[in-house]
């Protein structure tokens, strides 16, 4: 299964368009946004070769304009999930045997379709359905998913090329087979790229997939399915189902043919899935692969030598881009007393310059959080901080859901390093800052390491190389992606493979071949050219 005589196109990162005023891409994106905003979508289940409309539907609304109707998506019953599993297993018979270069061609075409005719359609769907500004949409629903698709093909060929040594007596080779069964992909609202990558990465390796996208990401999920179909993904290879999450997951996990779960979402849900797999373990034909990326309580630590302006920018971008709804978003910061006042003034300056509103207005840096449930949770923590004696809301703190779910970028200052918002994942535009005494830098690093159950991302800003090295050592288990002199967000496929440990997931590094290796079951074949005809070894001689 090596590359043989085939040479795949080299994977390079998709260039990010600027969308600066007056650029063609800005005008195209705006026109597509306006066109799609007024469409009424009727999104079916995709099962095998059928698009099923059950009649049981859920409405879709833009988070920044929740009274506007975007249409509906259809909800599955248990029988639909059972059919999706059957259709996936039926499709596996051909898909698993398809030569690797044929599978590669399908997903390379999908990348080119997104880079070209689908780029602004997928961006607009992400802006409308998930309230991303144009730049956040571009780096997600265009560049990152394109990079996933292209780099995964390159990683696949690297995996297939890894073969054991042979000699003149025997030929040893490894087949990287797809898993025996089907893969269950569960994807979140916050990244269209993740929604596309979790099912497609498993499918690229020859697997078949039952995919459950988030109910708050359905607008762009529909466009992804359009891309997969046009790219030539065969019927039944990726089946998209929506409905009651508990029912879908329960039905999937009870199937003897369940072979793995590819998950991004909340820690609690992932832990429940893991426990349920354990309960059903005697029922499965094979031990399922469990791959998940969950929550984070991501940190920024500034050393006294850090540049205050660099620290403030890391906070402003790291905490507030996409309203803090990134798994990697900075949500707890540790700033030395000697530079705090300067950092504070720069952050205040940034926040005063932020514009908030609909992503249709491309001068807006901040838009809405995803839904009312998220809004209410964030508002309750902000209100609590306004009352608590060991916390103070020093910037922002306002919110309004009359038109959209708008939360002002909010900075909480606490005197308690274990204050609730230093430990609890909020998933919104709220960052909490603890100011430490300069001479307690090393002590503070240990505090950072011990504060959170999560270990996804973190950043250290320092001009002192010894201080940076110390942080790298003490915080070695505190973050799967660790940044020196940068914000803790913005991992790029092929450059910063992404994932964390502890309660943040299995750290299988999306955007690397480590992740793809989870979706294959290797078979070693040894072929002896001239088999022996005598059992006796030389040591038996007299």
Sort strands 57-60 and 481-484 into parallel, antiparallel or unpaired.
unpaired
DSSP 8-state symbol, 436: E
pLDDT > 70? residue 11: yes
Whole-number Å distance between alpha carbons of 135 and 61: 21
Give residue 109's pLDDT band: very low, low, confident or very high (50, 70, 90): very high
Give residue 147's pLDDT band: very low, low, confident or very high (50, 70, 90): very high
Q: CA-based Rg of the chain, rounded to a whole angstrom?
A: 25
Nearest to residue 302, comparing CAs of 185, 438, 402? 438
Q: Which pLDDT belongs to residue 279?
A: 98
111 vs 149, 253, 270, 355, 498, CA distance in Å?
6, 31, 29, 33, 20
Whole-number Å distance between alpha carbons of 456 and 28: 36
- Positive or negative, the CA dihedral 14, 18, 23, 24 is positive
pLDDT > 50? residue 456: yes
Q: Is position 143 annotated as part of the catalytic site?
A: no
Q: What is the pLDDT of residues 179-213, one digit of tens each?
A: 999 999 999 999 999 999 999 999 999 999 999 99
Whole-number Å distance between alpha carbons of 237 and 234: 6
For residue 281, what are the contacts with CB-CB under 8 A and spacing of at least 6?
287
- Which of these is catalytic: 14, 144, 293, 425? 293
- Which of these is catalytic: 14, 327, 360, 425? 327
Q: Residue 424 burial (CB < 10 Å; 0-12/13-18/19+)? A: middle
pLDDT > 60? residue 29: yes
- Positive or negative, the CA dihedral 249, 255, 256, 260 is negative
Sort strands 430-436 and 330-336 into parallel, antiparallel or unpaired.
parallel
Give residue 8's pLDDT band: very low, low, confident or very high (50, 70, 90): confident
Beta bridge partners of 58: 73
Give residue 9's pLDDT band: very low, low, confident or very high (50, 70, 90): confident
Q: What phi and psi, each to the nearest 5 degrees, are found at residue 437?
A: -75, 135
pLDDT > 70? residue 329: yes
Q: What is the pLDDT of residues 364-415, one digit of tens each?
A: 999 999 999 999 999 999 999 999 999 999 999 999 999 999 999 999 999 9
Q: Average pLDDT of the chain?
A: 97
Average pLDDT, stretch 154-166? Answer: 96
- The CB density around residue 84, as the number of other CB atoms within 10 Å, is 29
* Residue 107 in tokens: 């997903």
Whole-number Å distance between alpha carbons of 404 and 131: 10
Q: Which pLDDT belongs to residue 15?
A: 97
* Residue 430 in tokens: 């709220």
Give residue 1's pLDDT band: very low, low, confident or very high (50, 70, 90): very low
Average pLDDT, stretch 326-345? Answer: 98
Whole-number Å distance between alpha carbons of 493 and 3: 22
CA angle 501, 503, 508 (to 5 degrees): 35
Q: Which pLDDT belongs to residue 541?
A: 83
Average pLDDT, stretch 173-182? Answer: 98
Whole-structure pTM value: 0.97
Q: Is position 333 annotated as part of the catalytic site?
A: no
- Positive or negative, the CA dihedral 176, 178, 179, 184 is positive
Q: What phi and psi, each to the nearest 5 degrees, are found at residue 33?
A: -55, -50
Whole-number Å distance between alpha carbons of 287 and 221: 29
* Residue 63 in tokens: 């988070």
Placement of tokens 């961006």 in the chain: 123
Whole-number Å distance between alpha carbons of 106 and 152: 12
Cα torsion through 321, 324, 330, 331, rounded to 10: 150
Angle of the 218-231 helix axis to the 100-115 helix axis, nearest 10 = 130
For residue 489, what are the contacts with CB-CB under 8 A and spacing of at least 6?
298, 317, 318, 321, 326, 328, 329, 330, 457
Placement of tokens 């994932």 in the chain: 499
Average pLDDT, stretch 430-456? Answer: 98
- The CB density around residue 421, as the number of other CB atoms within 10 Å, is 23
- Positive or negative, the CA dihedral 421, 425, 426, 432 is positive
Whole-number Å distance between alpha carbons of 491 and 486: 11
- Residue 502: which H helix or E strand, with range? strand 501-502
Q: What is the pLDDT of residues 279-319, one digit of tens each?
A: 999 999 999 999 999 999 999 999 999 999 999 999 999 99
Q: What phi and psi, each to the nearest 5 degrees, are found at residue 69?
A: -95, 120
Whole-number Å distance between alpha carbons of 492 and 498: 8
* Sheet strands side by side (includes 481-484): 391-395, 410-414, 430-436, 330-336, 298-302, 457-461, 481-484
């Amino acid at each position: 299964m090596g590359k043989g005589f085939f040479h795949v196109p080299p994977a390079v990162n998709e260039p990010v368009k600027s969308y600066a005023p007056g650029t063609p891409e800005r005008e195209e994106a705006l026109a597509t946004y306006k066109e799609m905003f007024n469409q009424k979508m009727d999104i079916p289940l995709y099962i095998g070769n059928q698009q099923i409309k059950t009649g049981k539907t859920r409405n879709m609304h833009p988070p920044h304009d929740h009274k506007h109707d975007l249409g509906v998506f259809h909800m599955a019953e248990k029988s639909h999930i059972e059919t999706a599993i059957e259709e996936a297993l039926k499709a596996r018979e051909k898909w698993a045997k398809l030569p690797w270069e044929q599978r590669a061609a399908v997903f390379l075409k999908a990348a080119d379709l997104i880079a070209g005719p689908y780029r602004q359609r997928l961006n607009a769907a992400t802006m409308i359905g998930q309230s991303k500004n144009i730049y956040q949409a571009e780096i997600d629903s265009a560049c990152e998913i394109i990079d996933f698709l292209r780099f995964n093909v390159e990683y696949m060929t690297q995996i297939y090329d890894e073969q054991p040594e042979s000699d003149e007596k025997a030929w040893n080779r490894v087949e990287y087979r797809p898993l025996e069964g089907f893969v269950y992909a569960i994807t979140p609202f916050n990244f269209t790229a993740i929604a596309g990558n979790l099912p497609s990465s498993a499918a690229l390796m020859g697997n078949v997939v039952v995919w459950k996208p988030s109910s708050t990401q359905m607008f762009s999920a529909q466009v992804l399915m359009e891309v997969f179909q046009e790219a030539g993904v065969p019927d039944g290879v990726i089946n998209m189902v929506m409905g009651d999450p508990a029912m879908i997951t329960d039905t999937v996990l009870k199937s003897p043919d369940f072979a793995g779960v590819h998950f991004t979402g909340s820690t609690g849900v992932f832990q429940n899935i893991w426990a349920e797999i354990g309960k059903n373990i005697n029922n499965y034909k094979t031990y399922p692969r469990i791959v998940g990326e969950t929550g984070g309580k991501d940190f920024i630590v500034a050393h006294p030598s850090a540049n205050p302006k660099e620290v403030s920018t890391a906070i402003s971008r790291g905490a507030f881009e996409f309203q803090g709804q990134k798994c990697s978003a900075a949500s707890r910061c540790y700033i030395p007393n000697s530079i705090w006042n300067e950092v504070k003034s720069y952050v205040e300056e940034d926040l005063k310059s932020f514009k908030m509103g609909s992503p249709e207005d491309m001068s807006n840096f901040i838009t809405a959080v995803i839904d009312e449930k998220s809004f209410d949770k964030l508002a309750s923590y902000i209100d609590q901080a306004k009352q608590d004696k060991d916390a103070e809301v020093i910037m922002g703190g306002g919110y309004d859901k009359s038109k959209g779910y708008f939360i002002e970028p909010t900075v909480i200052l606490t005197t308690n390093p274990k204050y609730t918002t230093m430990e609890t994942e909020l998933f919104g535009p709220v960052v909490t800052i603890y100011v430490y005494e300069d001479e307690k830098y090393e002590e503070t690093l240990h505090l950072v390491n011990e504060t959170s159950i999560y270990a996804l991302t973190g950043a250290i800003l320092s001009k002192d190389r010894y201080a940076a090295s110390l942080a790298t050592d003490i915080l070695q288990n505190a973050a799967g992606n660790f940044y020196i002199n940068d914000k803790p967000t913005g991992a790029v496929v092929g450059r910063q493979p992404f994932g964390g440990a502890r309660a943040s997931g299995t750290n299988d590094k999306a955007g690397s071949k480590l992740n793809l290796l989870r979706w294959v079951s290797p078979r070693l074949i040894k072929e002896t050219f001239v088999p022996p005809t005598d059992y006796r070894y030389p040591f038996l001689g007299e």
